[in-house]
Structure 1
Amino acid sequence: MPDESPTRGDLAVEGLLFDLDDVLVPVHTVLQWQWAWRPNGPRLPPAHAQAVLKRALRAWDRRRWTGLTGRAPPVTPDDQRAHLASLLDGLAGRPLSRDESEAVVARFQHPSGPIESFPEVKPRLEGWIRAGLRVGIVTPWPLETARRILRRAELDDRWLLLTADEAPTAYLPAPTAYRHAVERLGTPRRKTVYVGDLFWSDVHAAARAGLRSILLDRRDLWPHVADDRIRSLDSLDEVLRRAPTAEARSAATGPESSDRADDLPR
């Protein structure tokens, strides 16, 4: 990739915050689940597994959002494990025994198998840093898991600003979590941009915390989102050069307020 590093003045931002999984590093993939289930698991049919992963991600997006907006208890690490166990049942096509489910989920949460990558991520991050932008990473994964994922992807774990090891009030997607991350990044909130892959509980949650947010929709889960949506980090600079839309400037009130049914998490 040629050096297309922007300048700080070009982008009119000072800081970039990124979600970790499926934004910077592929995590919810058929390969990772297949590895976690070995040696006893069946071979996962790719088309079926991809469909299950997409449904599960949208369901998790809804669960996190309802917890954020008070219609359900806020999510916890235990809720994340329960979500992963449910996803695993979907991949299996049947409920698994508790022992098998817990063993596979534990392996998935401590990856040491083959690692995948998004080829544009490392050069783009390095380009933004050369341009003088501050870069940070937030994740609901525990610190050691996040470090393991980043190191295996050859990314700098010093960029980690917030993990599941924080106090419950700072567990993503709580507004305090984004605010803590911005404080640690050391940039003004109005000049900090967040990039996440879940429409409601990443992008709109960050908007409620006062950040401009960009949807990185690698899986094409929300094709009807017209504004501030990209399919690759290669497109981020172009979006950052544009003024935020009215929709991007306003915090979300919830899925039920959308007039685009296809955008709602299911």
Structure 2
Amino acid sequence: MSAETVRGTRASAPVRAVIFDWGGTLTPWHEVDLPEQWRVFAREVHGVPVDSPDVAEEDVAAAERLAAQILEVESAAWRGGRETHSSATLESVLDAAGIDPAHDRHHLALAAYRRFWEPHTFTDPDVRPLWTALHDRGIRVGVLSNTIWSRDYHREIFERDGVLDLIDGDVYSSEIDHVKPHPEAFRAVCDAVGIPPRESVYVGDRLFEDVHGPQQVGMRAIWIPHSDLPEEQRVAVDATPDAVAERLGDVLDIVDRW
């Protein structure tokens, strides 16, 4: 069941757009071995086959050092996002870790990195029927994601899963200066869908980024509290969602009531 606590002027505005977080919202929440993403990348850079008995120990050690170095840079980038709301890109992370994009194995390393992430990128089965039903009501659909990945990469994922045609506007923090919960991110996606914040709803799984953030600019916020966030990703915040949805499909009932 959904619990609502609609407050203030947001409650009286019509809903003309619903905008969604991506990871943990449009994709089911997964626990991910974050150090492993960079191990698979670094092993390709150094040409270290997985589980091969013929690999030199120094090559294995070099790959491990590189993986740890990239993880440290990436962790600092995400920490900066939480503390100062600054954005980053995959390219900026790799550059800061000293990766040469002209390296002859760089494209193989990126492909291995994508293969690692692919099982964690599949769109929730509720998405297409939900977005279709919103469109049937004349409501626009948007996406706003904190991500180091490119717009093209995310759109490839949506196209693969057969929902790209239902997106009216999308913004990724990798293409702007700030991440959620900075107000700029929410204003940017409202501009992208062509609907003002007070007539837009945001849906996400994190209180800090996805409830506190949109409410700063006058949006209503629906919280989907099913993601088991690691402690280092949690930010203490006094924020009360305008509604709670136990699953993505519940969003339509909430919007209908509004």
TM-score, length of structure 1 as denominator length = 0.56
Q: Is the 8 A contact 2:14 2:199 kept in 1?
A: yes
Assess if the C-alpha contact under 8 Å between 1:173 and 1:201 holds in 2.
yes
Classify the secondary structure of the residue corresponding to 2:213.
helix
Q: Which residue of 2 is the match for residue 138 of structure 1?
A: 144
**1:40 maps to amino acid:** V
* Kept in 2: contact 1:13–1:192 (CA 8 A): yes
State the superposition RMSD in angstroms. Answer: 4.4
Quote how far apart the aligned CAs of 1:127 are: 0.8
- Cα distance in 2 for residues equivalent to 1:226 and 1:186: 23
SS of structure 1 residue aligned to 2:25:
coil
CA distance in 2: counterparts of 1:201 and 1:114, whole angstroms: 20
Question: What is residue 6 of structure 1 aligned with on the other side?
Answer: none
Name the larger-Rg structure: 2
The correspondence of residues 105-144 of structure 1 with structure 2, limited to 5 A, is 107-108=113-114, 116-139=122-145, 140=147, 141-144=149-152
TM-superposed CA distance for 1:20, in Å, is 1.7
Partners of 1:65 and 1:200 within 8 A in 2: no
Counterpart amino acid of residue 170 in structure 2: L
- Indicate yes or no: 2:224 matched with 1:194: no
Tell me the equivalent position of 2:18: 16
1:231 and 2:243 matched? no
Hey, what's the Cα distance between the residues in 1 that align with 2:77 and 2:246?
20
The equivalent of 2:64 in structure 1 is none
For structure 1, the residue ranges without an aligned partner over 5 or more in a row are 1-10, 42-58, 69-73, 86-98, 244-266
1:1-266 alignment, distance < 5 Å: 12-26=14-28, 28-29=30-31, 37=40, 40=50, 64-68=81-85, 74-77=86-89, 103=109, 107-108=113-114, 116-139=122-145, 140=147, 141-156=149-164, 159=167, 160-169=169-178, 171-219=179-227, 228-241=243-256
Post-superposition offset of 1:12: 3.5
Identity %: 26
**Using the alignment, how far apart are the partners of 1:14 and 1:61 within structure 2?**
32
Contact 2:186 2:214 in 1 (8 A): yes
- After TM superposition, give the deviation of residue 137 of structure 1 in Å: 1.2
Taking structure 1 as reference, are residues 220 and 78 closer, same or farther at Cα in structure 2, changes over 3 Å only? closer
1:211–1:200 CA distance, 2 compared to 1 (3 A): same
Number of equivalenced pairs: 193
TM-score, structure 2 as length reference: 0.57
Q: Contact 1:215/1:229 (CA < 8 Å) preserved in 2?
A: yes
1:107 offset after TM fit, Å? 1.1
Unaligned runs of 5+ residues in structure 2 are: 1-12, 42-48, 52-75, 98-104
Q: Give deviations 1:156-215, integer Å, cap 9, x for gaps.
A: 16624212452325x444211210111121123211001112210222112112211111
Preserved contact between residue 64 and residue 173 of structure 1 (Cα < 8 Å): no
Q: Offset of 1:110 from its aligned partner?
A: 8.3
SS in structure 1 at match of 2:190: helix
